[in-house]
Structure 1
């Protein structure tokens, strides 16, 4: 299937926020890309500029059903990733993570493909250890409102490592911390898109709790670079590896930065904290630095400017 360094690569969730950026980068590197998406949260608009590319193919498909294609590598990104979207149909969210993992691992086993799982910092839940290293097992509520996503992703990791041990499948697992940038869904409920849209509309800026909970925000270009480095790392580099920006900001600081960049007159208002919302989240990226020679290079100010430009043009 390979022609020199050229590979045929499957990206599930490829029309989503992260997936569409990944498809672009893989095409720039001279690969064939099969983008698979059921368009629950992804949109054709995110990949419309790629449709005429001779090495790009778009397929509407739900990963909870088997897929029969011939490929060299699989990036498994399919799953709604924001609370608004994954809580809309929590049973389907769990099925996407678990059945999707089973189907993509089965495809990788048949085609002898290397496969990467896009896991999440949510596997750590509301952490007792700060920052979070990969050997921390997490503190997750198994029956809460976020469990469909948190436990679905945890189960997917279990499946990946069982296929690795049982079938010697070449797997890769990354745990993605808060990512932002152009092509985010404007109504996905994530904090960056929420604050930017509220500021641009002149609406009240909504913060939950006291706004002092912290997050670490990684710009999408940096994240895509890390994912590709992980896929291309030696087979002995399996993961899980944290991918994110270790710079930590309170949600209040993020709101202030957005208001400044948008020159908004919006006022900040406070609402009760949602259930199971983690108080702090910050990746320990020592393994990414050491094993992938990677660390993020885009500052929050620069990344927010590019993101605001995208949302302003919508």
Structure 2
């Protein structure tokens, strides 16, 4: 998926035309991105390359990937158009040598599947912590000018009130639940970022992303937002394995990338920022109903608590009503609401890599 896809090209043009983003500061810089074949990593890398291509400036994009052959297929369009894109094959756990200078780092790589968290909790927590430690060490070694660590709204744990959550308003996480391998891992990685910022002056900023989706999501993705879209497109009922009463915020992929870019250049080092679209705040059940109505399946139903006891597989019941004023104070604004997120995502379902 590249500029041949009208929806993705519109997103790329919109972010490059965002006058509040300090694009010019990236002239002649090298940006290192982990998790570059994932949804956010791919979108961020494409945005940097598209801006450089369109503006005529030079931005070198260096991508850490586990499988270079697959990555080359994924970025074939960018490479054919002459973008400055290079690959380093390896894993976060055993960081390969990075011979070139690195000015900025975006650390996206992380497990994202709830089922994986519960079946592979050790791998989940170790991947998050060890990977982040190695990326921070790289930032220190390269004397990077900025780094953004992608954290998650799940660091807030179980919150039982609907009040807005500022960056200091953390809730409870049960350390004896294997599902907490993800949320506790993210909290630990955040603390590690603060430690590196304090002890070694590593210029790292943390972004706590709401659940993020948009163009580039595979039609076979197991996460609930993709499942809901598949059901709606097939005019089938949506079967939720929970009560559907959890309330969350969401964020469009390119809006997440604009937040990352803003924080890469303007964020306070060693600090954390919420990133979400406040207009998307709703329950899982209400989102399911919105998806059915938006994608043309108003007669389909939303069924809850399907399949018996699923406690332990998903985040506990609660409310994640994130306050994003801190990020907005830098000039950032989300552009795409929840119905439009779904409409734009499904336009690219058939164009994703198998």
Same fold (TM over 0.5): yes
1:4 Cα deviation from its structure 2 partner: 7.7
CA distance in 1, matches of 2:288, 2:168: 32
The answer to whether the 8 Å contact 2:157/2:170 transfers is no
CA distance in 1, matches of 2:285, 2:160: 22
> Tell me, what secondary structure is at the counterpart of 2:164?
coil
* Structure 2 residue 85 is matched with structure 1 residue 32: no
Distance 1:185 1:302, change over 3 A: same
1:67-98 alpha-carbon deviations (Å, 9 max, x no partner): 32131111011101231344442222212111
How many residue pairs were aligned?
Answer: 308
Q: Which residue of 2 aligns with 1:288?
A: 327
Q: Which residue of 2 aligns with 1:147?
A: 180
CA distance in 2, matches of 1:182, 1:268: 24
1:155-195 alpha-carbon deviations (Å, 9 max, x no partner): 11111111111111111111111111111244443221110
Residue of 137, 141, 146 corresponding to 1:106: 137
CA distance in 2, matches of 1:60, 1:304: 33
Name stretches of at least 5 consecutive residues in structure 1 with no aligned partner. Answer: none
The answer to whether the 8 Å contact 1:78/1:96 transfers is no
Residue of 80, 85, 89 corresponding to 2:120: 89
* Structure 2 residue 306 is matched with structure 1 residue 242: no
Q: Which residue of 1 aligns with 2:12?
A: none
Distance 1:86 1:48, change over 3 A: farther
* Structure 2 residue 75 is matched with structure 1 residue 47: yes
1:180-224 alpha-carbon deviations (Å, 9 max, x no partner): 111124444322111012222444312233323212111111111
CA distance in 2, matches of 1:194, 1:245: 21
Scaled by the length of structure 2, what TM-score is found? 0.80
> Tell me, what secondary structure is at the counterpart of 1:208?
coil
The answer to whether the 8 Å contact 2:105/2:148 transfers is yes
Name stretches of at least 5 consecutive residues in structure 2 with no aligned partner. Answer: 1-24, 53-58
Q: Which residue of 1 aligns with 2:89?
A: 60
Alignment of 1:1-314 (within 5 A): 5-30=27-52, 31-38=59-66, 46-52=74-80, 53-69=82-98, 70=100, 71-113=102-144, 114-129=146-161, 130-233=163-266, 236-247=268-279, 248-264=281-297, 266-271=300-305, 272=309, 274-275=311-312, 276-290=315-329, 292-311=330-349
